[in-house]
Amino acid sequence: MKEKKTANLEIKKINRTGIYHLLWEKDALSRQDIVMDRQLCLPTVTQNLNELMEEKLVEERGSVGNTGGRRAMTYGINPTARTAIGMDITKQHITAVAVDLQGNIMGKIRVRAKFSRTEEYYSQLGDIVEQIIVRTKLDRDTILGVGIGVPGLITEDCQNVFYGKILDFTGATCGEFSQHIPFQAAMLNDANAAAFAETWLNKDVQNAFYLMLSDNVGGAVYVNNQVYSGDNFRSGEIGHIPIVPNGKPCYCGQRGCVDAYCAATVLTKLTDGSLGQFFSLLKSGDVVAGKVWKEYLQYLSETVNILRTLFDCRVILGGYVGEYIGEYMEELKRLAVAQNTFEENADYLVCCHYKTEAIAAGSALRFISQFLDTI
């Protein structure tokens, strides 16, 4: 008898989950649409819809049908029934976003703030969380948590930094960062967070390498919609693969690394740190900017070819440079094809959807994804 009751509860959970996820994916469906898609009886669909509406997870969308007959009510998820906040921490900036259940960015804040492991800095993180709540008029009861994306390697429980040379914060903890944040918090590697945002948005992408071209070069490997972390949680660190023997020094202590040739700072050295200004110079025909960009694309194409050869999957270009590279993709693809032994096109190479907010968005979406898995 107990086993039968347990089985019934499991079936009920499967039905509820299936109905909610169907509405999440397609939106504005009638009860009959759900019956046909899920192969359930009408009373079961009605009961689940009523329960989900009572919990404010689902809402009525409006009626459809012929004017001469009874119009059918349609249903969809309430995207703001749950929300999450994400942060992106760099040497000089803090970016924060709020996202809803569909991954829509509800609001964004970006402030210039030099990183330091001080009470003042961590208090500022708490202030920024409060600002994004006020600016986007979030209901505090809907906030699932705050994800914090950082340029470092993070333990599996998302609580500790075990390698953080860029910010010199090895040993830092999530509790340290979130001491002024009144919500559950988790710390994530920045590239993994950005990659999660891109692959979460596009469910058709099963396998991908996300190449983050920001002030430092990072990456994340996604296999079957899961981050492949590696045995020591260091997978995807493409920035520290040498591409020029005994080349330029890298901050890691080695020479000739991808980071030394493909980081955004390679470009912004010409413009006092402004990437937008660099691309303005490039578009204006500036000779020096043109020369720097040509060399940059060559090294980037070599890096892309390494990734394609190793992983044989889609390569997503993101980070700061990803915001601007769209109109130069054909040139980059041509260079990549010229180096590829097996392919005559580079259609696997795509631009990111999320731009400068990718890390913050991905950090927030971790909480959204976990919630959706529990429905």
> What pTM value is reported for the model?
0.89
pLDDT score, position 339: 94
**Cβ-based burial of 269 (10 A; exposed 0-12, middle 13-18, buried ≥19):** exposed
pLDDT tens, the chain, 375 aa long: 556 556 677 889 999 999 999 999 998 999 999 999 999 999 999 999 999 999 999 999 988 865 556 788 999 999 999 999 999 999 989 999 999 999 999 999 999 999 999 999 999 999 999 999 999 999 999 999 999 999 999 999 999 999 999 999 999 999 999 999 999 999 999 999 999 998 887 777 889 999 999 999 999 999 988 889 899 888 999 999 999 999 999 999 999 999 999 999 999 999 998 999 999 999 999 999 999 999 999 999 999 999 999 999 999 999 999 999 999 999 999 999 999 999 999 999 999 988 889 999 999 999 999 999 998
Q: Are 188 and 228 in the same domain?
A: no
Number of independent structural domains in the chain: 3
Distance CA 303, CA 209 (A): 12
Q: Are residues 64 and 145 in the same domain?
A: no
pLDDT attached to residue 152: 94
Bridge partners for 74 per DSSP: 30, 62
The verdict on 54 and 157 lying in the same domain is no
Please check whether residue 54 is in contact with residue 10, taking contact to mean a CB–CB distance below 8 angstroms: no
Q: Are 13 and 124 part of one and the same domain?
A: no
Locate tokens 């086993």: which residue? Answer: 3
pLDDT at residue number 1: 56
Q: Are residues 328 and 215 in the same domain?
A: yes
The Cα–Cα gap between 350 and 210 comes to: 10
Give domain status of residue 59, yes or no: yes
Which CATH number goes with the domain that contains 124?
A: 3.30.420.40
**How many other CB atoms are found less than 10 A from the CB of residue 322?**
26
Structural domain including 53 reads 2-77
Same domain, 129 and 184: yes
